[in-house]
Amino acid sequence: MASSFIGSTGSMTSGFQNVNVNFRNRNNPMFLCHCGVEASFSISWTDKNPGRKFRGCTNYKDPSRYCKFLIWLDPPLPSEDYKNLMYQMHLALVGMADGNAQLEQVNVDQNRRLMLMMKLMFIMVMLFAVMLVTETVLLVKL
């Protein structure tokens, strides 16, 4: 990816598109899309581009301002097998995260039940103690 510095602004050529870049600093350039808005950073997790970093317009879902600006920040993956492996690993990771969230919810539900059972057990013990005291008092009076 070629870049040219003109003061603090410049242009960057990526593929066939010319991109306006404002160099805030060398490590964090600000990419401006065709709308003039700063393009946001994201990572693609599609099956065609798993794990690829890009900058894209934040207005791409707005039908009135639909902007197709997208610039890849890293090269494409070297082979279809590698893409498939990356995508499958991502799906597995997402599946594990979903499974973990479900297990955490089960844990929360079980803890609630346990606390309820402990409260009920405490109430039963207290009622039993009251019954014993009452019975003892009645026996003493006789």
Q: What is the mean pLDDT of residues 117-121?
A: 97
Is the Cα dihedral 17, 3, 22, 41 positive or negative? positive
Which sequence spans correspond to the domains of the chain?
A: 2-76, 77-142
pLDDT digits (tens, 9 = 90+) for 2-39: 333 223 333 444 444 555 555 455 566 678 888 888 88
Closest listed residue to residue 9, CA positions, set 21, 19, 18, 1: 21
> What whole-number distance in Å separates Cα of residue 35 and Cα of residue 33?
5
Inform me whether the pLDDT recorded for 142 exceeds 80: no
Burial pattern 11-30, b for ≥16 Cβ within 10 A else e, equals: ebebeeeebebebeeeeebe
